[in-house]
Structures are given as C-alpha cells and as structure tokens.
C-alpha cells in the first residue's frame, strides 16, 4: 500500500459503468432496438468488468416512441439481464425537465421513479442544467421514496464562477435533501483535471459516506487526465464507453481507462477481451443495420477548440449548420458596407469567440442541453446582426429569454447590466419563484384521455407515465404513424446513402450558403436534422406559410423534431416569406434550405 501526491491510498477499488445509452445518444439520434439490446446485454455481462450499466433515460424513451417501439417494454427487457447478473442499472433524468427538454408537472415527476424502479432501474441520476438545487430537490425525494438510489449530478463547466466552493455549496444542499451519491457530469469534457480532483477530495472529506461517479466526454481531450485525478482523490465509479462508439465526442474506452488505473495501482476488474470483441462486433452490426444512418462522422473527432467556448461536442454539427445558414446573409451585409467577405473558417473562429464573449454576460449557465443551444443561437444571431451594423442582442429568442428571466432556475452568475437593461426595455419581469410552480399537476387530464381512448394505463402505470412525459410522440406511437414515418425515413436515408455522389465543386458548395433561386433573400436554413414541422401540432396535411406572410426578427417559423426535442427555427430578419421548398413532415438535414425571407 502507498499514497499518492494528495494522500489517498492507491490500492482503492475503482468500478466501471458502461454508459451504453449515452454512447449512442452522443453519436447519433436513435438507440438499438429491443431485439438488439437483448442480444448484447448478456455479452456485456460476460465482459466481466462492469458493476453498472446506463440503460435508459435522457432521450431513450422518446426516441423509442419516435421509431414506433414501446419504450416500457424495451426498458424492462433491457434491464432484466443486468438485474439477474447483479449489475446495477442507472438512468439519466433532467430534474425539472424530466426526460424531455421543457418543464414537467410535479405529479408526473413523482410517478417517474416509481415506474422506473418497477421496470428494473436501480439508480436515478438527476441533473439540472443550471445546478439549481430547487430543481433537484424533488428528484432526490421522489427517487428515494420509490426505493431507487438517488445520484445527484453536478453539471461541470469551467468559469470564474464554477469553483470548488461553488460546487460544494450545491453538494451540501443535495446531502440535506438525502442524495446517496454525487455524479460529476462533465458533459463537454472541459472540467480541468486538477480542479475536479480537488472537488472530489473535498466531497469525500466533508461527506465520506457519499459515492462519487465521474462522467466525462472526450471532446477536448482532458477526460483521461480527469479520470486519473478524480480516482486519486477517491472517486468510486468511472463512466466508460466501448468501440466503435468510444473517443471523439463520446467517452473514453474502458480498455484504456482500465489499463491506466491498473498501472496507477488501483484495484480494477479484468476485461474478458473475447466478450469485448463480440460486443464490439454487435455494435458495428447495429450501426450497419440502421443506426449508422444517423451518426455524424464528425463525432469521431476531438477538438481543443471546445475548451474556449465550453460547448459540448455534440453542438459542433449544429453550430456549423447555423453558420452555413447565415454565411450568405453575413457576406451580403459585409459586401453592402464595403467590407471584405468572410470564409466559413473565419466565421467558425468568430462564433467560438462570440460564445466565449456572451457566456459570462448571460450568467455563466453550464453549457449543457438546452442551455448550450440558447447560447449558441444567441451567438449566431449576434454575428449576423453585427455584420448588418446592428448591436449585439438585437434578437433573443423566447427560450433564451426564459433562461435569462429565471424561469428555468437561478443562473450561476450575475447578468451583464446591458442584459438587465434590455429586459426592462422589453417590459419583461424577472422570476424569483420556484420553477416547478409554473407546471401544475396534469395526470388527471392524461388519465381522462386514456379512458376516452380505451388505452390501458399499463403495468405500474407505465403507459400513463409515457403519455404524460411524451404526449405527442406517444399519440403518434399508438396510432401507428410513428412507425410508418420511421420506415419512410430509413428508406429515404438509405436511398440517399446509396445514390452516387457528384464531386463537390465551388459552385455546389456555395449552394449551401445562398441559393441562386432567390439570391438577394435570406434563406431559412435547418439548424438540425429531423422532421420539419411548420406547425408544432403535427398534421401531414398542414402546409408551409404562404408567400407574403409577414415575419419579425426572432419569430419562430417552424420546429424541427430532432432526437432531443423540438428545435425552434427563427427568422433571421424581418420581412416577408417569398417562397418555401420543404413540406410539412419532410425529413430535413442540417444546412438544408427550407425557404426564403425578403
């Protein structure tokens, strides 16, 4: 036995968790089907190195509904093998937002852990994107009432505000609530290793009964150093991935993590490499089946540029699509004012710098979903407005305003005086109440709907829960529309993949930025891949806005049903819609032109 530089015994046991759900979610849109999960589960058990498996949560249930499967049957089948093997299962939930991107009624949040515990899930990992303890209190309470282990997560980022002392203030509150464990959710991988080590050491010193689990993405390349530092400081569990979905924007591979910690003197389980290779082959098989149609090859690449702006790696594709969408408009504005036009590479650097610039002005919200989207959207609009000679923050969308005004929770840092003044000019009031109060109980309404439709509430009320959490997707699942759409979507993507590709030319590349059909208009560009909804209440007979429709800057023109949520598509300038070229319900890709505003 010996001690490391910060005085911790080095023969401590470190246990591993396979974040199987997040591996897929950080790579693409969908999760494996129930038959695929049932096949790979015993092989994961045979690997022999995992004490925990992340089985569900986040977007897991939602995307199962979107491709026409019953998520409750999937969760029960998926957890069964691990329950039998004595391996703990854990899920991810977003506190106030539950399993979705916006607030959830209190009674629905109360029902969730009861359902998930009955389905075989042992641990509920709960995080608030703003680290507001008020949003986490009910998560801890309801998880423990249901007999689950409550693992409360800290959304890790790096700023002058996010100090060890700041995080320990949150930890102390979580302990008061009764949390059993703490997770360091380093969603962008920007947590600095030494700081994370000090944080874990302080948690273990002040609250030695707490288990600590580290979850770090590999985007900017710090996660392996962070794993070593938190392990030395006393962390108990490390989240890992496996090939072909490790590294890049995802998570470190368990083989490398195990080898590093074993060399450092920690007690770690051996890996059955025969089983690892079988599971690896299965993962590739699932990718070749249909999941690869939704995986962005760019997710295989890491970039240190993420350290400056602090955005999660999964945001890179969205950011580049946004830039392609406004590139032509920015260059038109620059040209009119006699300035040099910018390349897409120059705009990329400017966007990183703009995110870095406005982040403290907006109160240093940890850049995790959905707050990463809000900061990115504001930065893109700022670049466009400044190119047009307008000041920053000329346009702020309603969701970002909701964050600014405190409706999602308390921001970690103070708002810049100009943001406060802008809110006053707009006539907005700041909200100081508990965010949960804005979402009254709703289960009686959903029970009534199920009774009227003759729908069974399901074992342990699991079908009722699914309707209440993802009502629109659940209705589409029950009607069969979801399965029909998914099959069409897969067929379309396969056809596009197999179609011969014309070589890229300067002209064809330019079409991504400004189309010759309406060369002087601002294109409406998809900033996500998914189903286009000109109207949020999905109706395949609905149509796009008619030519001549007047819009204001920042107006929501449409939504794109992406993997995580409905992503709003806003007007980049005031004017009139002169044309559209995409239909309601059509599958669109990031960067596609959908219409034009003049």
- Reported pTM: 0.83
Tokens matching residue 328: 């032509």
- 157: burial class by Cβ within 10 Å (0-12, 13-18, 19+)? buried
How confident is the model over 461-504, as pLDDT tens digits?
999 999 999 999 999 999 999 999 999 989 988 888 887 765 54
Interatomic CA distance for residues 520 and 528, integer angstroms: 24
CATH of domain 515-597: 2.40.50.100
Residue whose C-alpha is closest to residue 129's, from 299, 312, 308, 304 = 312
7-20 in b/e form (b: 16+ CB < 10 A) is ebeeebebbbbbbb
Instruction: List, in order, residues 6 or more apart from 209 with CB less than 8 Å away.
Output: none
Count of alpha carbons within 13 Å of 548, Cβ hemisphere only? 1
How confident is the model over 64-111, as pLDDT tens digits?
999 999 999 999 999 999 999 999 999 999 999 999 888 999 999 999
How confident is the model over 361-378, as pLDDT tens digits?
999 998 887 888 888 889
Q: Which of 144-148, 208-212, 451-455, 574-578 has the lowest mean pLDDT?
A: 574-578
CATH topology of domain 15-297: TIM Barrel (3.20.20)
Q: How much is the pLDDT for 333? A: 84
In the numeric block, the tokens 């004595």 are attached to 86
Residue spans of the domains in the chain: they are 15-297, 306-437, 441-498, 515-597
How confident is the model over 429-444, as pLDDT tens digits?
999 999 999 999 999 9
How confident is the model over 534-573, as pLDDT tens digits?
764 444 445 778 888 888 876 778 877 765 455 667 777 7
3-class DSSP string for 500-522? CCCCCCHHHHHCCCCCCCCCCCE
> Is 175's pLDDT higher than 70?
yes
> Is 216's pLDDT higher than 90?
yes
3-class DSSP string for 422-459? HHHHHCCCCCCCCHHHHCCCCHHHHHHHHHHHCCCCCH
Interatomic CA distance for residues 582 and 534, integer angstroms: 9
CA distances to 24, 67, 484, 529 from 497, in Å: 20, 20, 20, 15
Pairing of strands 522-525, 593-597: antiparallel
- 297: burial class by Cβ within 10 Å (0-12, 13-18, 19+)? exposed
Tokens matching residue 130: 């703003």
Tokens matching residue 509: 């590349």
DSSP secondary structure letters along 281-296: HHHHHHHHHTGGGG--
Name the average pLDDT for the chain.
88
Interatomic CA distance for residues 523 and 468, integer angstroms: 36
Pairing of strands 566-570, 556-561: antiparallel
């Amino acid at each position: 036995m010996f001690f490391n530089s910060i005085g911790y015994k080095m023969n401590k046991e470190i246990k591993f968790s396979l974040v199987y759900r997040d591996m897929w979610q950080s790579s693409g849109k969908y999760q494996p089907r129930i038959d695929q999960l049932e096949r790979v589960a015993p092989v994961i058990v045979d690997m022999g190195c995992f004490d925990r498996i992340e089985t569900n949560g986040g977007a897991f249930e939602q995307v199962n509904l979107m491709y026409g499967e019953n998520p409750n049957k999937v969760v029960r089948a998926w957890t069964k093998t691990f329950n039998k093997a004595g391996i703990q299962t854990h899920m991810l939930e977003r506190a106030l937002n539950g399993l979705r991107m916006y607030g959830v009624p209190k009674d629905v949040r109360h029902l969730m852990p009861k359902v998930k515990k009955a389905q075989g899930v042992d641990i509920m990992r709960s995080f608030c994107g703003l680290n507001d303890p008020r949003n986490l209190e009910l998560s801890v309470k309801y998880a423990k009432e249901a007999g689950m282990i409550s693992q409360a997560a800290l959304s890790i980022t790096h700023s002058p505000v996010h100090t060890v002392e700041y995080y320990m203030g949150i930890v102390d509150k979580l302990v008061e609530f009764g949390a059993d464990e703490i997770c360091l959710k380093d969603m962008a991988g920007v947590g600095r290793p030494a700081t994370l080590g000090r944080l874990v050491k302080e948690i273990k010193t002040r609250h030695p009964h707490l288990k600590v689990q580290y979850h770090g993405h590999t985007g900017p390349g710090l996660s392996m150093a962070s794993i070593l530092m938190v392990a030395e400081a006393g962390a108990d569990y490390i989240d890992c991935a496996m090939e072909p979905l490790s590294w890049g924007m995802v998570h470190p591979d368990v083989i490398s993590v195990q080898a590093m910690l074993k060399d450092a003197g920690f007690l770690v389980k051996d890996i059955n490499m025969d089983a690892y290779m079988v599971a690896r082959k299965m993962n590739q098989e699932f990718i070749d089946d249909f999941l690869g149609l939704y995986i962005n090859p760019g997710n295989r690449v890491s970039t240190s540029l993420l350290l400056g702006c602090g955005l999660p790696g999964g945001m890179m594709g969205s950011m580049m699509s946004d830039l392609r969408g406004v590139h032509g408009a920015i260059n038109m504005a620059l040209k009119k004012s006699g300035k040099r036009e910018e390349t897409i590479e120059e705009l990329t650097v400017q966007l990183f710098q703009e995110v870095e610039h406005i982040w403290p002005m907006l109160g240093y919200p940890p850049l995790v979903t959905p707050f990463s989207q809000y900061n990115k959207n504001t930065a893109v609009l700022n670049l466009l407005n400044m190119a047009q000679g307008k000041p920053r923050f000329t346009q702020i969308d309603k969701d970002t305003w909701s964050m600014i005004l405190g409706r999602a929770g308390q921001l970690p840092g103070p708002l810049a005086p100009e943001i406060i003044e802008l809110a006053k000019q707009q006539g907005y009031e700041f909200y100081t109440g508990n965010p949960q109060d804005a979402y009254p109980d709703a289960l009686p309404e959903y029970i009534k709907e199920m009774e009227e439709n003759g729908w069974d509430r399901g074992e342990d009320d699991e079908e009722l829960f699914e309707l209440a959490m993802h009502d629109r997707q659940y209705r589409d699942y029950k009607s069969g529309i979801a399965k029909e759409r998914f099959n069409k979507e897969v067929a379309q993507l396969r056809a596009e993949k197999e179609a011969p590709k014309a070589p890229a030319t300067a002209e064809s590349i330019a079409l991504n930025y400004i189309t010759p059909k309406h060369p002087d208009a601002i294109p409406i560009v998809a900033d996500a891949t998914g189903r286009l909804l000109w109207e949020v209440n999905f109706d395949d007979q609905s149509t796009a806005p008619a030519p001549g429709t007047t819009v204001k800057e920042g107006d929501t023109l449409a939504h794109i049903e992406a993997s995580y949520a409905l992503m709003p598509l806003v007007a980049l300038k005031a004017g009139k819609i002169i044309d559209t070229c995409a239909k309601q319900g059509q599958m669109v890709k990031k960067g596609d032109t959908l219409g034009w505003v003049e």
